[in-house]
Amino acid sequence: MSDTHSEQLLSEVAALPGLPGVYRYFDAQGQLLYVGKARNLKKRVSSYFQKNHDGTRIGHMVGKIVRMETTVVRSEAEALLLENNLIKTLNPKFNILFRDDKSYPYLKITGTREVFKPSARLPSPSLAFPRMAYYRGVVDRRHSYYGPYPSAWAVKESITLLQKVFRLRTCEDTVFANRTRPCLLYQIKRCSGPCVDLIDHEAYAQDVRDAERFLRGETQAVLDTLEQRMLAHAEKLEFEQAAEIRNQMSALSRVLHQQAMDTVSDKDVDVLAVKVHGGRACVNLAMIRGGRHLGDRPYFPAHVDDATAIDNALAEEGGETPKPADPAERVAVQVLEAFIAQHYLGVAMPHTLVTSHPVGKPLLDALTEQIGAKVNAVHHPREHRRIWLEMAQKNADIALARLLAEEGSQQARTRALADALNLPDDQLDTLRIECFDISHTAGESTQASCVVFEGHKMQNSQYRRYKIEGITPGDDYAAMRQVLLRRYGRIAEALRAEEGAPALPPTEAAVAADAPDEALSTEPTVESIAGPRMPDLVLVDGGKGQVSMAREVFEQLGLDLSLIVGVEKGEGRKVGLEELVFADGREKVYLGHDSAALMLVAQIRDEAHRFAITGMRAQRAKVRTGGSRLEDIPGVGPKKRARLLQRFGGVRGVASASVEDLCTVEGISPELADAIYRALH
């Protein structure tokens, strides 16, 4: 294998030190192939080039290596953390990769770290009575946060529970400050009515403290405190107050009875179960917070086959970390360790993990070093932990079975469409379909959308929106002409240059060079990575008129007309009666209302329609509300703009607000409030 690599690369391998570190392999195009860590860089990297790997996945990868980069670190734990940091940020082609989805929701209780300090002066009424809220974002040390929760549903369920037991408010501060009588939540005994002074500050503060203790899992202590308060009121003959506390205890007891796991000694635990089948893997994460099972979430990694094949090949040659003898178990361990390393990198985590497979000591040492506290992984749990793990394993089985069924169904749809349109069926995994749609409201805020289907699924990172200008309002044909020229003009120019054909006329080339107005991702496009490439199919949401316009554009650009397919509404515009219209003169095709091919076409068409409508509505709202005035102010991003508009009821309300009023909005500093005020005046 070494004969296929340059002398410079082999000399770099020979010169590597026998120290811990991280290595990275690149191909001829500069694309990152693989990131690995090693306790001994020289020994590990040399193993790739000292043996013939022909005919294997590792051989396929090693044959592409042109350049190598290495980083020496102080320990194996530091190497492991750096390796997974690079995997997350650089997305190498042959590593197990989990999508970076850390946006977990939290339950927030506002102002508690200021209000209840012994030396704190009593703040404004809205801050004196903290509120519970669903929260997702950067934490603020003035507030208390509990979680993370696996889903928004889990947070809202916990808020409902706390409303029933402790009756804390959930209303916005602006609503709270302007109430003159109690709201419906007070009437149904979900709030104690602090907005109209139906509870004093000290009593409300006690309820907040009890709620926080409950969220931390101190349920028995909360019950004991409530019982003491109830008896104290009874001794003073304050029977109404005693009855209120008795009702709180009853509500809390019902909650604990509904979820039997609340009484266990564990407070914060993550339960991880792995299932591998059919070339796919699922890691199911169940969260235990404050002794309560909050729910779980499945994760599905990419590149499992390639990455595990490479790791297994190296393990057979004397890898650094012992692996299970059973290949299936070995894959499961590799997937689990990759998830733990990537998921908990740089974030807070519980000190105890319950896992379906054993976790290597180097990984646990790295996590311990990261958080500054001992991290334990329990592989053979007992009692309640065993029940949690069995639940997580069952959910992993169900989630993976559902994924495989969905992927099988989607692949069947792709094959059915290829058969219906006589497309080659030997490259269905790379079949690329682009679909266009136009959306506007009576000619206002016209937007065109382009969505992409590839690899048997929608590729939303490659979606594009185009703002259509310079046409007669409501002219869908002119809008379609413009978006197709802008989408395929540059590709056509590149293809003509490769073939040595003359360039397009300057006026058309200028239009064709326009970029999309909005993309869902900053990732490079397919054209920028692999050179110009036309899709295998171009779907147009429309009948003969739109297809004729697409045909004119393709003829002008010198592109293949057989790629264009229009989706024409059937009789009465009924779903399932659509027909396919072709630009190259073929007869219409009716696929049948229960055709798998029509289901795929409808799925792509509906996604293009949805994407166009959401863009058009956002553009229309911006024009009608003057939202762009706020967008132009430095420091005011989407979240702050949304808070301002929600707080003051629109741009006019923001413009009429004083600097002091603007400062009351979360995230708006006095300096930024002054800048907003000056910009709007």
pLDDT tens digits, 60-69: 888 888 899 9
> What's 269-401's CATH class?
alpha beta
Q: What is the DSSP string of 424-440?
A: -SS-GGG-EEEEEEEEE
Percent of the chain beyond pLDDT 90? 11
| Cα–Cα dist 558/209, whole Å | 72
Backbone angles phi, psi at 408, to 5 degrees: -65, -40
Percent of the chain beyond pLDDT 70? 83
Burial 551-561 (b: 16+ CB within 10 A, else e): bebbebbebee
Q: What is the DSSP string of 218-268?
A: -HHHHHHHHHHHHHHHHHTT-HHHHHHHHHHHHHHHHHHHHSGGGGSS--S
For 271-304, write each residue's pLDDT tens digit: 999 998 877 889 999 888 777 777 788 988 888 8
| Cα–Cα dist 50/62, whole Å | 11
For 440-467, write each residue's pLDDT tens digit: 877 777 889 999 999 888 888 889 989 8
- Res. 258 pLDDT band, cuts 50 70 90: very low
Quickly count: other Cβ atoms within 10 Å of residue 574's Cβ. Answer: 10
Q: Which range (147-161, 164-178, 497-511) has the least confidence?
A: 497-511
Nearest to 366 by CA among 103, 39, 102, 68: 39
| Cα–Cα dist 139/113, whole Å | 13
* CATH superfamily for domain 428-622: UvrC, RNAse H endonuclease domain (3.30.420.340)
- Is the pLDDT higher at 593 or at 342? 342
Backbone angles phi, psi at 289, to 5 degrees: -130, 130
Task: Supply the Cα-derived Rg of the chain in whole angstroms.
Answer: 30
Mean residue pLDDT across the chain:
80
| Cα–Cα dist 499/56, whole Å | 36
Task: State the DSSP code for 573.
Answer: G
Q: How far is CA 250 from the centre of its chain?
A: 39
- Res. 26 pLDDT band, cuts 50 70 90: very high
- Is the pLDDT higher at 590 or at 263? 590
Quickly count: other Cβ atoms within 10 Å of residue 565's Cβ. Answer: 24
| Cα–Cα dist 304/291, whole Å | 34
Residues of the chain with CATH 1.10.150.20: 626-680
Q: Which range (89-103, 581-595, 624-638) has the least confidence?
A: 624-638
What mean pLDDT is predicted for residues 517-534? 50
2-90 fold? GIY-YIG endonuclease (3.40.1440)
C-alpha distances in Å from residue 616, one per residue of 61, 148, 468 = 44, 35, 10
In this predicted structure, the answer to whether residue 194 has a pLDDT above a threshold of 80 is yes
pLDDT for the residue 115 = 47
Quickly count: other Cβ atoms within 10 Å of residue 282's Cβ. Answer: 24
| Cα–Cα dist 36/321, whole Å | 13
In this predicted structure, the answer to whether residue 531 has a pLDDT above a threshold of 50 is no
Q: How far is CA 135 from the centre of its chain?
A: 16
In this predicted structure, the answer to whether residue 620 has a pLDDT above a threshold of 50 is yes
- Sequence-ordered alpha helix ranges (H) in 626-669: 627-631, 638-648, 651-656, 659-663
With residue 30 as reference, give the H or E element that holds it. none
Angle at 71 between CA 69 and CA 74, to 5 degrees: 165
Quickly count: other Cβ atoms within 10 Å of residue 8's Cβ. Answer: 11
In this predicted structure, the answer to whether residue 673 has a pLDDT above a threshold of 60 is yes
Q: Decide: 378 and 257 in contact? Cβ < 8 Å.
A: no
**Long-range interactions of 532-535: CB distance < 8 A, separation 24+:** 532/490, 532/491, 532/494, 532/495, 532/498, 533/432, 533/491, 534/488, 534/491, 534/495, 534/559, 534/560, 534/563, 535/432, 535/433, 535/434, 535/452, 535/563
- Res. 434 pLDDT band, cuts 50 70 90: very high
For 204-241, write each residue's pLDDT tens digit: 988 888 888 888 777 777 777 777 778 887 877 877 77
What mean pLDDT is predicted for residues 636-642? 81
In this predicted structure, the answer to whether residue 316 has a pLDDT above a threshold of 80 is no
Residues of the chain with CATH 3.30.420.340: 428-622
pTM: 0.62
Residue 539, beta-bridge partner list:
435, 565
With residue 416 as reference, give the H or E element that holds it. helix 383-420
For 359-390, write each residue's pLDDT tens digit: 888 888 888 888 888 888 998 888 888 988 99
626-680 fold? DNA polymerase; domain 1 (1.10.150)
Residue 97, beta-bridge partner list:
302
Residue with tokens 């266009």: 436
What mean pLDDT is predicted for residues 626-637? 68
Residues of the chain with CATH 3.40.1440.10: 2-90
